[in-house]
């Protein structure tokens, strides 16, 4: 009987000791475990209330602000061509001359007919001395017009003007300053009315025309800053401004926006380019984009309180690739964690490290 009692006593004592040990472990403060966890080293930034630059990406082509086609308005032969492609020209400069032999002959004939008509007019008007010497200005004007017509003076004046205009058409001038492009005729070539001689482009005054999504067009306004990046060529962007906005959406849901670039930008008309338009949004709470992570498919920003991370669900707004708007969830002037926050937990110990 005594032998059976002793093992039972040992079993009961062992169970009581385990329960006491478990109770002791449960009574240990949670803080002791936190102290044993190594703090996550993080970098921080601050939420700021300021203007936020929303970046609108667009693409299009570079166009000359002024571009004209010089067209022959009469037939003839191209006797002079004083330009070459790429050469600069000034406004009003002569670029081509058509053969003027026939035009000069017609002009001389018109001048001769005018002299004859004036002589006939002077003779015929003498037939009305009383009227032409009288005080009735209305009757004098009527008789003068009749004699001008009957003597052929009126028609001779018109023919002279036509001959002078035909002579003027022989000389082709550029109405704008720029550079010559697309010369289509050679010196000595026959020319017909309507033939294109060349184009003149204002190569130093360029306006890229880019297409913006209709969803973003409400954020674009004239005068906003834009950076233009040619698809090929220079690596750095060229700073310009929004010049005009076409008040029409095309069939693809795009709106044409014209940008203005400084002179001598180094671009050429016809180049493909992309543009980044800065649309400032005033009075926004802004944090670095790296501060926003996702938990349960919701955006979260970690802040710091008492050297511990704090989980904050936030509502985000616009994103420019570097910064993001915070519409709700984090007030301004708050320290936010921007590194090692992908796997960070709520109330985890953190250690701020400086750059």
Phi-psi category of residue 353: left, alpha or beta, with phi > 0 → left and psi -120 to 50 → alpha: beta
Asked if 40 and 147 sit in the same domain, the reply is: no
Instruction: Answer yes or no: do 145 and 191 share one domain.
Output: no
* pLDDT given at position 265: 78
User: Is pLDDT at 14 greater than 90 in this prediction?
Assistant: no
The pLDDT value given to residue 33: 47
> What tens digit of pLDDT does each residue of 28-67 get?
454 554 556 689 999 999 999 999 999 999 999 999 988 9
Residue 308 domain flag? yes
The answer to whether 310 and 302 are in contact (CB under 8 A) is: yes
Asked if residue 189 and residue 213 are part of one domain, the reply reads: no
> At which of 225, 252, 279 does a domain end?
279
The answer to whether residues 347 and 81 touch, using CB atoms and an 8 Å cutoff, is: no
Q: Which of 251, 279, 307 is the last residue of a domain?
A: 279
Q: Which of 225, 249, 279 is the endpoint of a domain?
A: 279
DSSP structure class, residue 269? T
Domain region containing 81: 66-98+171-201
Half-sphere exposure of 291 (CA within 13 A, CB side): 34
Integer Cα distance of 32 and 243 in angstroms: 65
- Examine the domain organization and report whether 272 and 331 are in the same domain: no
Read off the CATH number of the domain in which 244 is found: 2.40.30.170
Residue 316 and residue 222 in one domain: no
Residues 60, 153 within the same domain: no
Q: Which two tokens stand for residue 171?
A: 């000389």
Strands 350-352 and 40-42: parallel
Tell me the sheet residues that pair with 272. 61
Instruction: Judge if 88 and 182 occupy the same domain.
Output: yes
| Chain segment 103-115, per-residue pLDDT in tens | 999 999 999 999 9
3-state helix, strand, coil split of the chain in percent (to 5) is: 30, 40, 30
In a domain, 23, yes or no: no
Note the pLDDT of residue 122: 92
> Are both 218 and 321 inside the same structural domain?
no
More confident residue, 329 or 127: 329
- Regarding whether 61 and 208 lie in a shared domain, the answer is yes
- Buried b or exposed e, range 130-142, using 16+ CB within 10 angstroms: eeeeeeeeeeeee
pLDDT band at 347 (very low <50, low <70, confident <90, very high): very high
Q: What is the pLDDT of residues 273-285, one digit of tens each?
A: 999 999 998 899 9
Q: Is residue 125 part of a domain?
A: yes
Q: How many domains does the chain have?
A: 4
């Amino acid at each position: 009987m005594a032998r059976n009692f002793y093992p039972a006593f040992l079993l009961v004592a062992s169970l009581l000791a385990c329960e006491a040990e478990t109770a002791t472990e449960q009574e240990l403060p949670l803080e002791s475990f936190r102290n044993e966890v190594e703090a996550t080293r993080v970098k921080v930034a601050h939420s700021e209330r300021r203007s936020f630059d929303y970046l609108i990406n667009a693409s299009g082509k570079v166009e000359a602000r002024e571009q004209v086609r010089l067209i022959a308005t009469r037939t003839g032969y191209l006797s002079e061509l004083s330009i070459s492609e790429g050469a600069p020209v000034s406004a009003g400069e002569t670029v081509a001359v058509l053969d003027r032999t026939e035009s000069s002959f017609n002009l001389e004939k018109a001048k001769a007919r005018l002299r004859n008509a004036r002589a006939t007019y002077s003779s015929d008007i003498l037939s009305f001395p009383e009227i032409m010497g009288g005080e009735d200005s209305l009757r004098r004007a009527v008789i003068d017009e009749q004699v001008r017509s009957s003597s052929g003076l009126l028609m001779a004046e018109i023919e002279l003007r036509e001959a002078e205009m035909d002579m003027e058409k022989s000389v082709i001038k550029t109405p704008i300053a720029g550079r010559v492009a697309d010369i289509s005729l050679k010196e000595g070539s026959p020319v017909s009315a309507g033939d294109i001689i060349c184009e003149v482009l204002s190569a130093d005054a360029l306006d890229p025309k880019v297409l913006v999504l209709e969803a973003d067009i409400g954020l674009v306004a004239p005068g906003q800053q834009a950076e233009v990046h040619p698809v090929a060529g220079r690596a750095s962007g060229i700073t310009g401004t929004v010049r005009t906005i076409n008040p029409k959406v095309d069939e693809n849901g795009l709106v044409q926006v014209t940008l203005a670039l400084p002179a001598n930008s180094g671009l050429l008309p016809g180049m493909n380019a992309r543009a980044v338009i800065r649309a400032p949004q005033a009075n926004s709470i802004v944090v670095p984009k790296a501060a926003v992570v996702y938990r349960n498919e919701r955006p979260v920003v970690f802040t710091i309180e008492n050297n511990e991370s704090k989980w904050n669900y936030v509502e985000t707004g616009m994103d420019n690739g570097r910064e993001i708007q915070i519409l709700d969830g984090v007030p301004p002037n708050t320290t936010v964690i921007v590194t090692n926050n992908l796997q960070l937990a709520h109330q985890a110990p953190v250690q701020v490290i400086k750059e």
